[in-house]
């Protein structure tokens, strides 16, 4: 499927249409701006990946023993919050 899309005759036709539509002087400017956009996108992606890996490295590995999560077998007691809960 992609072999048919990028055949030489179709690429030549696309090049001719670009030259007619934009002109020979504008095509290098367009290609340069596309290249800058791709470089900026790659730089942003690298920055995000570095930030994620940095935050993953800085995160604590083990939990503190003073904070314990209740298990299914433990009875969880909650303090009443309102007066109506206190009376009942």
Exposed / middle / buried, residue 18 (Cβ in 10 Å: 0-12, 13-18, 19+): middle
Confidence of residue 7 (pLDDT cuts 50, 70, 90): confident
Contact 68, 62 (CB under 8 A): no
Q: pTM for this one?
A: 0.47
Kindly state the average pLDDT of the residues 20-44.
91
Kindly state the average pLDDT of the residues 71-82.
57
Contact 80, 86 (CB under 8 A): yes
């Amino acid at each position: 499927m992609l072999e048919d899309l990028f055949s030489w005759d179709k690429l030549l036709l696309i090049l001719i249409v670009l030259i007619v539509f934009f002109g020979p002087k504008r095509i290098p400017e367009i290609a340069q701006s596309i290249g800058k956009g791709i470089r900026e996108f790659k730089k942003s992606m690298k920055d995000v990946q570095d930030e994620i890996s940095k935050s993953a490295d800085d995160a604590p590995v083990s939990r503190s023993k003073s904070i314990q999560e209740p298990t299914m077998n433990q009875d969880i007691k909650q303090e009443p919050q309102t007066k109506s809960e206190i009376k009942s």
